[in-house]
């Protein structure tokens, strides 16, 4: 493949990954806004919403993995950020599976054991919290790389990435928010906002301008 052909292929892949980040970010906030608030889910709604969230998490991971691989895993902040984001993916998948499928299944079978549901809730909260901290770490690490690049756009994305990564983790660590529906919406909206910025950066072809930095 010629150099121009490889560049064109990279441009197309960047647009696909950027589009995945933007679409997943918008749809994840929409899905969280329709999250059921009942303790044991709202019939099939809990499974549907969490199933959608799992698909969107996967799409977001695709977008960020493409970004990390294109930026270069040989750069320590990029590789460390990718590892942190994969930890967050596993944690969020576990949290979504518990609340979206395990708890409704138990309720559907007529299980009325309060301690069992309490255990499921605490497991969900622990995994969701881990997901927030790991996502925050990934954003901070990737933002450090953005800040090292020349130009206003990458530096602005890096600065906003630090805010998007640190603020939700700090709110959760301080007890200001919990990973209930309201707290999760705050955290995921911040994460989604930075995902949109990175997605636009990819679509605009700005990652190609980072060669050598």
Residue pLDDT, tens place only, 172-190 = 999 999 998 899 999 999 9
Match 């549901």 to its residue by tokens: 117
- Cβ-Cβ contacts under 8 Å for 1 (sequence gap 6 or more): 9
9: enclosing H helix or E strand:
helix 3-33
Under 8 Å between Cβ of 82 and 92: no
Residue pLDDT, tens place only, 49-104 = 999 999 999 999 999 999 999 999 999 999 999 999 999 999 999 999 999 999 99
Strands (DSSP E) contained in the chain are none
Question: Is the whole model's pTM more than 0.75, yes or no?
Answer: yes
Residue pLDDT, tens place only, 11-24 = 899 999 999 999 99
Residue pLDDT, tens place only, 8-54 = 677 899 999 999 999 999 999 998 887 776 545 455 788 899 999 99
The vertex-177 CA angle with 176 and 181, nearest 5°, equals 160
Cα–Cα distance between 78 and 83 in angstroms, integer?
A: 9
Predicted local distance difference test score (pLDDT) of residue 34: 78
- Cβ-Cβ contacts under 8 Å for 39 (sequence gap 6 or more): 117
């Amino acid at each position: 493949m010629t150099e121009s052909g490889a560049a064109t292929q990279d441009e197309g892949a960047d647009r696909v990954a950027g589009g995945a980040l933007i679409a997943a970010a918008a749809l994840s906030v929409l899905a969280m806004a329709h999250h059921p608030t009942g303790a044991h889910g709202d019939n099939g709604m809990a499974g549907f919403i969490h199933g959608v969230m799992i698909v969107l998490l996967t799409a977001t991971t695709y977008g960020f993995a493409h970004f990390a691989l294109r930026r270069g895993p040989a750069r320590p902040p990029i590789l460390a950020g990718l590892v942190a984001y994969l930890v967050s993916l596993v944690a969020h998948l576990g949290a979504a599976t518990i609340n979206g499928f395990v708890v409704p299944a138990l309720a559907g079978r007529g299980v009325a054991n309060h301690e069992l549901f309490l255990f499921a809730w605490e497991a969900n909260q622990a995994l969701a919290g881990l997901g927030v901290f790991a996502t925050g770490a990934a954003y901070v690490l990737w933002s450090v790389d953005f800040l090292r690049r020349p130009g206003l756009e990458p530096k602005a994305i890096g600065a906003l990435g630090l805010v998007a990564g640190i603020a939700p983790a700090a709110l959760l660590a301080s007890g200001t928010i919990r990973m209930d529906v309201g707290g999760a919406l705050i955290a995921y909206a911040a994460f989604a906002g930075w995902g949109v910025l990175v997605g636009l950066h990819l679509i605009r072809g700005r990652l190609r301008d980072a060669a050598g930095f």
